[in-house]
Amino acid sequence: MMQRPRRPSLLVAVLTALVACRREPGATSLAAGKSEPRPVVVYAAASLAAAFTELGNGFAQQDPRYALQFVFEGSPSLVLKLQQGALADVLATADQPNMDKVASAKLTAAPPAEFARNRLAIVVAKGNPKQITSLADLARADLRVALCGETVPAGRYARQALQKAKVQLKSLSDEASVAALCSKVHLGELDGGIAYVTDVKGKDLEAVAIAAEHDVVASYPIAVLPGKERAGGERFVAFVRSEPGRRILKDQGFLLP
Amino acid sequence: MIVPARGSLRLWCALLTAVAVVLFALPLLGLLANAPWAKLPLLIASGPVHDALRLSLVSSFGALAVAVLLGLPLALWLAAGDGTMRTAVRLVVTLPVVLPPIVAGIALLLAFGRRGLLGQQLDLWFGFSLPFSTAATVIAAAYMGLPFFVLAAEAGLRALDQRYVAAAATLGAGPWRRLVTVTLPMVQPSLRTGALLCWARSLGEFCATQMFAGNLQGTTRTLPLACSAAMEVEPELAIGLSLILALLSLGVLSVLRHGWVPQR
């Protein structure tokens, strides 16, 4: 007789937990009486993480109707997800070829536009303990250096820069994104890597400039996608390209087209 | 009779079983249906796939060797008694099972990386650093796979009737002989199950390998890493690699089916 009540009470406990976890409609509204902000999904390259988070804050102040959800990954990974049918409202990649893959598959709602530019830099630990001053230095036998993968924009640009400087580099790994690369430099696993000038901002890292004749200018396109919140996506893209948005990008170290 | 011969219970069991079987068969069927069969021989013969296959075999079997070498003594000790020490050790050893692989990768870096707890000493004394080497893939795979071996081995050892071992002792067998001729053969099914689980887990290791060992063709790019890299550039190659991994796993599972199919 004592055994029977146990199973129903377990069921009740599970149901109660599920009900408790269900969000109350309007619980996240910013003002009483307003409906819940609509989620806008933004896929952005890893190097845009800090900048887009700032842009997101600025946009939320300007237009609280939308709640931005960011996905920061290497550009090829984002493109792959979209090709496999993921739904997003905005895509910002770190180079044109990755954006082209999405645009040519007619996955964009409007033609992409360039909204920012970036320069490459050699990323080293704070204090530059290994005294790396140029691309040629990276090829030193005693250094542990890596690049991003060939399909990652930073990897592509880095290989272009190395080719321009006629430097043969032995990369220890094809990192998936600039974020992963910088983490490994930060942890001391790598003595240096080639990423963007903007990647050292706010981190315990230093950027060594690359000679102008070897440097490659990265071009970042942004496009609205036919996702669930197209209007929200368009407004965010408009904000990114507006004066306040451009100012934020400039503060983060990006160049403006 | 677990499920009766007729009635609504049987019907529901049959229905849900069918759903479960379909759900599990679909991914495999999807792979088989989309595999580039015509191009497969060409793809398999290519350099990158050879490298990835070689590295996967090296890391998974290397991990198995480490697991048996280190895991068997550990399992013997864990099975020999009880107490807080053993419970604590069992907890630490089981951690990789529940830890998200990427966290495991970061933890491995912090322990064995160039500035890690142990790695620092390695670098200082030998100038050798584990990350970005093939050895690192073995370590990452071993870290994730060893717990499975230890848990299975310990379970088997605990279930062993000690009277057999005692009988061998009364007949004059020393400790080594008792271990090798009585204990280990008698727990052999658990050891095989544990070895299989360890090997399979090591073969599929991705995040920890990428984080700790890196991702370079020929040195650290195992099959799962090669698959992920291929997916962005040449999806057909990725499907081909997935097929190889799936068939490899199926092959080992069926060869060792007597080791893991539950016996009455």
CB atoms B114 and A172 under 8 Å: no
Q: What is the pLDDT of residue A235?
A: 93
Please give the DSSP secondary-structure letter assigned to residue A134. Answer: S
Q: Is B114 on the interface with A (CB under 8 A)?
A: yes
The alpha carbon dihedral of A198, A201, A205, A209 has a sign of positive
- Helix H segments across chain B? 8-34, 40-45, 47-79, 84-98, 101-112, 119-126, 134-159, 162-170, 175-178, 184-186, 188-203, 207-212, 223-233, 235-255, 257-260
pLDDT value of residue B143 = 96
pLDDT of residue A25: 45
pLDDT for the residue numbered A30? 46
pLDDT, residue A96, reads 92
pLDDT at B37 over 90: no
A153-164 pLDDT, tens digit per residue, is: 999 999 999 999
Position A150, amino acid: E
Output the CA torsion sign for A97, A100, A105, A109: positive
pTM for this one?
0.80
Q: Residue B78: what are its φ and ψ, rounded to 5°?
A: -65, -35
ipTM of the complex: 0.78
Amino acid A22: pLDDT: 53
Chain B contact present for A147, CB below 8 A: no
- Residue keyed to tokens 């796993």: B249
With a cut of 70, list the residues of chain A below it in pLDDT. Answer: 1-34
* Residue A85 pLDDT: 86
Mean pLDDT of chain B: 89
Could you give the CA distance from residue A215 to residue A121 in angstroms, rounded to a whole number?
Answer: 8
Average pLDDT score over residue span B125-149? 92
In this prediction, residue B247 carries a pLDDT of 86
Q: Do residues B147 and B95 make contact, with C-beta atoms less than 8 angstroms apart? A: yes
Would you say B101 and B144 are in contact if contact means Cβ atoms under 8 Å apart? yes
Q: Does A176 touch chain B (CB under 8 A)?
A: yes
Give pLDDT, residue B264.
Answer: 52
Which of B214, B231, B232 has its CB closest to that of A173? Answer: B214
Q: What is the pLDDT of residue A52?
A: 95
pLDDT of B263 reads: 58
Residue A187 forms contact with B (CB below 8 Å): yes
Phi, psi of A114 (to 5 degrees): -75, 130
> For residue A11, what pLDDT is reported?
61
Tens digits of per-residue pLDDT, B199-258?
Answer: 999 999 999 999 999 999 989 999 999 998 888 888 888 888 898 888 888 887 887 776
What whole-number distance in Å separates Cα of residue B225 and Cα of residue B55? Answer: 11
What pLDDT is attached to residue A17? 59
3-state secondary structure B94-125: HHHHHCCHHHHHHHHHHHHCCCCCCHHHHHHH
Of the pLDDT bands very low, low, confident and very high (cuts 50, 70, 90), residue B146 is very high
Is the CB of A189 less than 8 angstroms away from the CB of B110? no
The alpha carbon torsion through A179, A183, A189, A195 (nearest 10 deg) reads 40
